Structure 1
Amino acid sequence: MSRWSLALFAAFALLPLLEGGYALRLAMEVVAWGLAATALAFLYRTTGLVSLGHAAFFGGGAYALALLAKAFGAWAYPAAVPLALLLGFGAAFFLGFLGLRSHGIFFLMLTLAFAQLVYVLVKQGFPQVTGGDDGLPGIPRPLGLEGELPYYLVGLGLLVGVLLLYRAFLASPLGLVMDALRQNEVRLGVLGYDVRRLKLLASGVSGALAALGGVYLAGYRGFVHPHDLSWATSGLLLVMAVVERWKGDYEKAAHFVEEAQGLPVAPFLQDRVYLWRGLVAKDLGRYPEALEALSRVGHDPLLLGRARYQMGDLLMRLGSLEAKPRMEEGLKALEEAGAPKDEVARVRARYATLLRRLGLYEEAGRAIEKALAEAEDPFTRARVESEAGILEAARGRPFAALNLLVPAEAYFRSTEERPKEARYRHLRTLFRLGATYLLLEAGQPYRAPFLGGLHAPTAQRLLEDLLEQIPWEATDRYTALRLDTASLLALLLSPAEGKALLKPLLDVENPYLRAQARLSYAETLVREGNLGEALAQVVALPPLEDPGLLAQARAVEVLALLGLGEKEAAWQKLSEVRRSPLPEPFRFQLGRALGRFCPELQRHLPPTPLALPEALGFHLANPD
């Protein structure tokens, strides 16, 4: 083993010393997928064959553990591990018996068909046994290994042992014969070796190793899902194996990948490839690449719906009005393709969030009601309730918002399902509770523009506590959550404290979030009296499409102009807003917010018994 390999394993052994559990959980994923990728690499290294069906063995091992765990709990492992190995060996041996006379693309097609057959059988054939599309939750870890650290260390030791055995096997006489088999099986047959038996042995061992990886992953996650049996998982294993083969077999492995993409069912496969590529690029912040890849998905109706929804979600993150037609297209495609109800409910709730951001509250309310009716899974329902709660806060209904947010917060705080996702959803729901208390205590709905000088002690406590809990992850959603929290909290602090809170966020990568950060920072500058710099922040922004950002920019401009004595210019800005397509809720809120600070605007309004904030709000909201 090379010095680099030893250094890598030493680094993995030291991971438990890092603070927090994220690195440890990620390392357990690496161990499980490392075992499965080693299985696929073993098959190629000994026979020269590349499989697109190893997800069947990998997921089969996971389901073997899950089914036994339903009956025997943590005592299932002594039987589940050998059973999974036996099933993996037997299934791979059987597949090899059927297909080892084929080579290249024909073997790829056979293994792909086998994996998809197993996937469909598990997902649709016996849902009462396998859990169908919901999978099987509640898998315990082995007795004595309930904690993450001991389970990880055992897995790391297992992976190291497998790799050492793999290396020793390749150097053994039988391993050398296998290497010759990969290079020239015809010559090896002439020398008297039983080529078919050697291939069957390699196929069986490879399947058993993949099943072992599935058992370890199921024990770590605590659940299995049909996705673990899909072609997507086989493709992931193939990519891992390609990376593992960096020592000189890159070109040949890449050739096999290209062959797989050129199968006769290429539209389906290409759709998946483009969808994956788009999702990964989206997560990494490579937005043009993500949009380009997602736009190329166009054959499989279900994947088309998911791709268009993801495009809409990304365009919403970027503040583009094009998000609405894309998300509507995705939602319609998902419904027509018969997507699971919970998936449709999640997409519909996200669509409602887009409608809220566009100021279309009535449409958003109808969409969120339908999503609540569709949501069957408790996790999905809590997520929709959280989205519904912030919609009510935007509409100025604090008690309706609390009625939705309180059960959602309790669920995400206590659930053991999907811990990483649940943690984010819990933090986001806490933010929404803070926004609701800002409405309840200070009268500020969750709707731009947001102007400071407010007093809301409960909201301030919630937001300050939340800000300490948000992890510094370089992902859009955590960056957005931190910025949203800091922006609301700055409204309750002095201008100097607000500036200090927002300044580290002024140069975030996402252009929409960067504009939001600069506008919030400009609001603190206005309150501080630094009017010229506040106007400079607004002028430096790129053209804005998002209604909330536009309303915030107009509020900052008007306040700065009034502070500089430019009263007519300020009123001209408001007159332009009154005639603009800015949605009515934002125009009304702009008037209410400015009415708190600008008594000089009273002279422009007709006589009314209303207080200035409401009078100015109705004036801007009703241009006729």
Structure 2
Amino acid sequence: MRNWIVGVVVLGGLAVAPWLGAYPVFLMKLMCFALFACSLDLLLGYVGLLSFGHAAFFGGAAFIAGSAMRDHGWPPEVALLLGTGVGAALGLIFGLFAIRRKGIYFAMVTLAFAQMLFFFCVQAPFTGGEDGLQGVPRGRLFGVLPLDNDLTLYFVILSITAVVFLFLGRVIHSPFGRILTALRENEARTISLGYDVDRFKLLAFVLSAAIAGLAGAMKTLVLGFATLSDVHWSLSGTVILMTLIGGLGTRLGPVVGAVIVVVLESRLAAFGGWLADVTQIAWFQGLGESVSVLTGVMFVACVLLFKRGIVGECAQWLERRRRVQALGAARPAQHDAVRTGLAEGQGG
């Protein structure tokens, strides 16, 4: 019940945010990366598989969807479906080779395939190489709704994000999701119960890759371009950082982590300039160049102080508080029962 309340409040806040002065394009970028982080959390937080190749699904879909819209005139809804399919197909190819590996070996196989795709994108003519894929038109949704207006596109992206978020929640709490959690907790016991663990891992990997592909296609639609940084291995590290900062295996954790990292990357330079003007300290002018250092410090702090991530620690604190309150309410009832028993004994 509490998750539904939080979800409704967040959705309502996002629905009115453009009228409160928030920049719609920036909010759409946040939603794309929040969806990207949620896709990784499905794999890492609920199955326990660390993938260093998720940027391949995100960036590969971004390039393919952008090329379909710009070079072939495909409508945006078809391009988004194409991006989702490209992510799923890449996930299937990667997964067939990587899924039987464990731990660091699984991570290295996914990284190797992702680097292969990166070098392909460097050489492929439709990606634009170092210049990237630029000038992607937004087009009309279903041939009717023009997406050139930022506010119109904002509500389309918000609707897609909300639907996918609800879908992920349904997957996590389904019997399929319970099996994935059992895999993470004790794979040997899951095998002993008769489940084909490799098949479940592959399904989860493909589903995660498909959602990452959708996020990449949405990002190209919103910003109108795709670059090699979208498919570079460093983006895989960034999305892992988002998930860890927010909290593994928590519905809102990846969203919170994505918001923190994207806001830092986008607004730290402006904040540094404001601090320089206020304090007259010139050092703050270069604060925007220290994003990697600051996110690294945040990661170390989370590992040392908030091992469950921000949302995970908050949830743990609320749970402890609920237990203390329940225990405090139970003690007077126990005392009353003891007094009643004593009184009855004396009366007898």
Cα drift, residue 81 of structure 1:
2.2
Alignment of 1:128-277 (within 5 A): 128-143=125-140, 144-245=146-247
Q: Which residue of 2 is the match for residue 509 of structure 1?
A: 279
Cα drift, residue 159 of structure 1:
1.1
Q: Which residue of 2 is the match for residue 32 of structure 1?
A: 32
Q: Which amino acid aligns with 2:96?
A: F
After TM superposition, the score normalised by the length of structure 2 is: 0.70
Q: Which amino acid aligns with 2:243?
A: A
Structure 2: runs of 5+ lacking an equivalent: 141-145, 255-260, 285-348
| Cα distance in 1 for residues equivalent to 2:268 and 2:89 | 40
Q: Which deviations, in whole Å up to 9, do the C-alpha atoms of 1:334-354 show, x marking residues without a partner?
A: xxxxxxxxxxxxxxxxxxxxx
| Cα distance in 2 for residues equivalent to 1:513 and 1:41 | 37
| Cα distance in 1 for residues equivalent to 2:199 and 2:229 | 32
Cα drift, residue 40 of structure 1:
0.4
| Cα distance in 2 for residues equivalent to 1:282 and 1:69 | 27
RMSD: 2.7
| Partners of 2:42 and 2:249 within 8 A in 1 | no
| Cα distance in 2 for residues equivalent to 1:216 and 1:281 | 19
Cα drift, residue 89 of structure 1:
0.9
Does the residue aligned with 2:51 lie in a helix, a strand or coil? coil
Q: Which residue of 2 is the match for residue 50 of structure 1?
A: 50
Does the residue aligned with 2:237 lie in a helix, a strand or coil? helix
Cα drift, residue 248 of structure 1:
7.5
| Cα distance in 2 for residues equivalent to 1:474 and 1:181 | 44
Q: Which deviations, in whole Å up to 9, do the C-alpha atoms of 1:37-75 show, x marking residues without a partner?
A: 1110111234210111100000111111111123333x3
After TM superposition, the score normalised by the length of structure 1 is: 0.40
| Cα distance in 2 for residues equivalent to 1:42 and 1:25 | 26
Cα drift, residue 244 of structure 1:
3.6
Q: Which residue of 2 is the match for residue 94 of structure 1?
A: 93
| Cα distance in 1 for residues equivalent to 2:126 and 2:250 | 45
Residue 82 of structure 1 pairs with residue 81 of structure 2: yes
Does the residue aligned with 1:140 lie in a helix, a strand or coil? coil
| Cα distance in 2 for residues equivalent to 1:247 and 1:89 | 22
Q: Which amino acid aligns with 2:218?
A: Y
**Bigger relative contact order, structure 1 or 2 (CA pairs below 8 A, ≥6 apart):** 2
Does the residue aligned with 2:162 lie in a helix, a strand or coil? helix
Cα drift, residue 245 of structure 1:
2.2
| Cα distance in 1 for residues equivalent to 2:266 and 2:92 | 40
| Partners of 1:41 and 1:244 within 8 A in 2 | no
Cα drift, residue 236 of structure 1:
1.5
Sequence identity of aligned pairs in percent? Answer: 33
Q: Which of 7, 10, 13 is the aligned partner of 1:8?
A: 10
| Partners of 2:60 and 2:231 within 8 A in 1 | yes
Q: Which residue of 1 is the match for residue 307 of structure 2?
A: none
Alignment of 1:498-577 (within 5 A): 508-512=278-282
Higher alpha-carbon Rg:
1
| Cα distance in 2 for residues equivalent to 1:513 and 1:109 | 39
Q: Which residue of 1 is the match for residue 19 of structure 2?
A: 17
| Cα distance in 2 for residues equivalent to 1:245 and 1:149 | 31
| Partners of 2:46 and 2:249 within 8 A in 1 | no
Q: Which amino acid aligns with 2:180?
A: M
Cα drift, residue 175 of structure 1:
1.6
| Cα 1:60–1:512 shift into 2, 3 Å | closer
| Partners of 1:32 and 1:216 within 8 A in 2 | yes
Cα drift, residue 2 of structure 1:
4.5
Q: Aligned residue pairs: how many? A: 267
| Cα distance in 2 for residues equivalent to 1:7 and 1:67 | 37
Q: Which deviations, in whole Å up to 9, do the C-alpha atoms of 1:473-499 show, x marking residues without a partner?
A: 5341x777xxxxxxxxxxxxxxxxxxx
| Cα distance in 2 for residues equivalent to 1:190 and 1:243 | 34
| Cα distance in 2 for residues equivalent to 1:48 and 1:212 | 22
Cα drift, residue 77 of structure 1:
2.4
